[in-house]
Amino acid sequence: MPGGESWPCLAGLNADYIVKQLHDFKEGHRQSASMMSFANMLDDSQIAERGGWKNKKAQALHALGAVVGVSAI
C-alpha cells in the first residue's frame, strides 16, 4: 500500500523469529507504529502463544499434505 503500512507476511517465518520481533517492537528496538501498538497489547505469554500458533499451523499443513499426498509447505 503506497504511503502506508501493510500487514506483515508471516508465511515461512520461524516461530522463534516471530517471538523475537514482537519483543523487539514491544521494547522499542524496532519501529513501526502499528506493530508497536499490537506488541504492546501482548504480555510475554501471549507473545509466546503467537509463535506457538504459527508452529501448530505449519504442522497441520504438513500433516494435511501427507494425507493428500502433496507438499503443503
| % of the chain beyond a pLDDT of 90 | 22
The cell for 66 is 501427507
pLDDT of 6 reads 66
**Residue 44, domain member (yes or no):** yes
Q: How do residues 39-51 score in pLDDT, each as one tens digit?
A: 999 999 888 888 7
**Residue 1, domain member (yes or no):** no
What does the alpha-carbon distance between residue 54 and residue 62 come to, in Å, rounded to a whole number?
12
- State how many domains the chain has: 1
**Residue 42, domain member (yes or no):** yes
- Rounded to whole angstroms, what are the CA distances from 40 to 1, 21, 24, 47? 24, 12, 10, 10
**Residue 8, domain member (yes or no):** no
